[in-house]
């Protein structure tokens, strides 16, 4: 024999099969166990004003514009297996000064000569003129070893010297064989090949190094462009013995593998999602803000610069709200982004002629299954633009539109007890899989 669960509301005694009531718990639908509290909450008020909040074991509170007492909407939505999300990753707004170079980012190197005297390099072409004997004049190209040959005299080192310094070197070398060997040295051609080799776009290797022709391999990851510029300039000046300047300009502020990074992922039965280069991440039970933080931390080993992570829920079998009472099409509806009481009621076809928008009920389950009941006057939203009273919805919320005059006891029993129990006559709580759940 099945035991009956009974309670008394005023002159009425309500009884239900306990096994049936227990079967309702997994659906998170408001059931008869809270009927007495609901009755105390809503009875005796023909026209309700503002938003009244009721929590189990506490007296009703009118929020009087205090939005901290109102539901936060999707902020408390938790991720479940089978949910489908779109993950987009983009570089955050950042200045070049703060940017940290990453593996797989591309740098533009521009080599130029700084201010000050030019120092002769390999491959440069020079002209040596003797003041007292023009027959001794000659042209020369600086060899790879940095030297030039003076006809009938021998070799002298030219690399690293200014034109004036090389003139004094040649004069001294010729003193033993040339009478009054005063000379002038002019630069007739600069070997730009090494400079051109250094100038261009270079991609940081996966191990964080930058390979530059002539200069070799340089650790770059983690440096700012300014720090890398100083490092390369120092190497170039030592290599070329000249006042070279190498400027570094980022060509992209995000690693190549993350440019336009977007993925559609499905939460596995084990509660994980898989992202390339990151791997499997446990996400079940997280809220969307918690998932963003988790992804940001997971990516720190790959990318140290600020990034923007956008996560959009595409679909979820559990992400629905239930609309019942005096609406034209009672049932469950996919919870769209930023959905409110009015939007949900519109999804349900709007109110019937008997519907009372001044006392709409929202039944909300928070974390740890904490139950909160809200009653809101949506007529004031429409007539007075009191938008805070158009409450934000979360997954599994129940919205109930009562009849006008629901405070009458005989209508209370029918409307709040019989019709709010799921699977009752006239109310369909089955999720419509054919509805487009994207937003």
Q: What is the pLDDT of residues 212-225, one digit of tens each?
A: 998 999 999 888 88
pLDDT of res. 341: 94
Q: Provide the pLDDT confidence category of residue 170 given band limits of 50, 70 and 90.
A: very high
Structural domain includes residue 20:
no
- Is the same domain home to 113 and 239? yes
* Coil, helix or strand at residue 101: coil
Query: What is the pairing mode between strands 183-189 and 154-157?
Result: unpaired
Would 170 be classed as within a structural domain?
yes
Residue range 84-106: average pLDDT? 76
Average pLDDT on 400-419 reads 58
pLDDT of residue 404: 83
Q: Are residues 369 and 332 in the same domain?
A: yes
- Looking at residue 21, its pLDDT comes to 39
For the cut 70, the answer to whether the pLDDT of residue 55 exceeds it is: yes
Using DSSP's 3-state secondary structure scheme, residue 125 falls into strand
**Which burial class, exposed, middle or buried, applies to 329 when counting CB atoms under 10 A from its CB (0-12, 13-18, 19+)?**
exposed
Which range is least confidently modeled, 8-12, 38-42, 267-271, 373-377? 8-12
Which residue would you say has higher pLDDT here, 4 or 65? 65
pTM summary value: 0.43
CATH number at residue 51: 3.10.560.10
Q: Give percent of the chain with pLDDT exceeding 70.
A: 75
- Secondary structure class of 384 (helix, strand, coil): helix
Find the domain containing 160 and state its range. Answer: 125-189
Do the domain assignments include residue 23?
no
Q: CB-based contacts of 93: which residues, under 8 Å, 6+ apart?
A: 306
Q: What is the CA radius of gyration of the chain?
A: 39
C-alpha 130/C-alpha 128 separation (Å) is 7
The pLDDT assigned to 258 comes to: 54
Q: What pLDDT was estimated at residue 80?
A: 85
| CA distances from residue 204 to 100, 223, 307 in whole angstroms, order as listed | 12, 12, 19
| Domain end (from 291, 315, 339) | 315
Residue 401 is assigned to a structural domain of this protein: yes
- Residue 138 is predicted with a pLDDT of 95
Same structural domain, 290 and 404: no
Does residue 157 register a pLDDT over 90? yes
Instruction: Say yes or no to pLDDT of 198 above 70.
Output: yes
| Average pLDDT score over the chain | 77
Domain count, the chain: 4
112/215 same-domain check: yes
CATH label of the domain that carries residue 239 = 3.30.1950.10
Residues 323 and 294 in one domain: no
According to DSSP, the residues that pair with 265 across neighbouring strands are 85
* pLDDT of the residue at 234: 92
**How far is the CA of 268 from the CAs of 23, 27, 303, 316, in angstroms?**
27, 22, 26, 12
- Which of 60, 1, 16, 27 lies closest to 361 in space, CA to CA? 60
Residues 136 and 269 in one domain: no
Contact indicator for 150, 156 with CB cutoff of 8 Å: yes
Using 50, 70 and 90 to split pLDDT, how confident is the model at 96?
low
- The answer to whether residues 272 and 324 belong to one domain is no
What pLDDT does residue 32 have?
36
113 lies in the same domain as 210: yes
Domain co-membership, 139 together with 180: yes
| Dihedral angle sign, alpha carbons of residues 5, 55, 316, 281 | negative
Instruction: Decide which of 166, 189, 212 is a domain's last residue.
Output: 189
pLDDT of 7 strictly over 70: no
Please check whether residues 167 and 300 belong to one and the same domain.
no
Contact 359, 399 (CB under 8 A): no
């Amino acid at each position: 024999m099945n035991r009956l669960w009974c309670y008394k509301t005023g002159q009425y005694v309500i009884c239900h099969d306990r096994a049936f009531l227990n079967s309702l718990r997994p659906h998170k639908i408001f059931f008869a166990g809270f009927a007495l509290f609901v009755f105390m909450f809503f009875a005796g008020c023909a026209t309700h004003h503002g938003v009244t909040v009721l929590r189990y074991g506490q007296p009703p509170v009118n929020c009087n514009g205090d939005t901290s007492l109102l539901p936060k909407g999707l902020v408390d939505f938790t991720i479940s297996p089978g949910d489908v999300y779109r993950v987009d990753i983009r570089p955050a707004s950042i200045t070049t000064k703060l940017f940290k170079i990453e593996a797989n980012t591309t740098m533009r190197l521009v080599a130029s000569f700084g201010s000050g005297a030019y120092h002769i390099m390999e491959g440069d072409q020079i002209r040596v003129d003797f003041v007292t004997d023009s027959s001794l004049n000659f042209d020369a190209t600086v060899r790879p070893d940095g030297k030039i040959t003076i006809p009938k005299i021998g070799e002298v080192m030219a690399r690293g010297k200014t034109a004036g310094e090389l003139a004094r070197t040649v004069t001294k070398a010729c003193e033993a064989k040339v009478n009054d060997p005063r000379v002038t040295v002019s630069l007739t051609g600069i070997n730009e090949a090494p400079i051109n080799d250094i100038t261009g776009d270079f991609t940081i290797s996966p191990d964080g190094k930058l390979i530059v022709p002539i200069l070799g391999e340089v650790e770059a990851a983690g440096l700012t462009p300014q720090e890398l510029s100083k490092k390369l300039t120092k190497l170039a000046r030592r290599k070329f013995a000249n006042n070279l300047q190498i400027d570094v300009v980022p060509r992209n502020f995000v690693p190549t593998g993350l440019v336009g990074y977007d993925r559609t992922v499905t939460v596995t039965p084990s509660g994980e999602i898989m992202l390339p280069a990151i791997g499997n991440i446990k996400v079940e039970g997280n809220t969307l803000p918690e998932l963003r933080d988790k992804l940001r931390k997971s990516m720190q080993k790959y990318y140290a610069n600020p990034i923007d992570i956008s996560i959009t829920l595409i679909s979820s079998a559990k992400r629905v709200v239930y609309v019942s009472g005096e609406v034209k099409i009672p049932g469950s509806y996919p919870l769209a982004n930023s959905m409110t009481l009015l939007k949900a009621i519109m999804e349900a076809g709007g109110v019937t002629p008997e519907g009372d928008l001044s006392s709409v009920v929202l039944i909300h389950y928070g974390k740890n299954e904490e139950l909160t009941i809200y009653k809101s006057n949506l007529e004031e939203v429409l007539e007075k633009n009191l938008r805070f009273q158009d409450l934000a919805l979360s997954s599994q919320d129940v919205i109930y539109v009562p009849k006008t005059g629901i405070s009458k006891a005989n209508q209370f029993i029918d409307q709040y007890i019989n019709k709010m129990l799921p699977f009752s006559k006239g109310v369909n709580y089955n999720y419509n899989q054919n509805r487009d759940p994207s937003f």
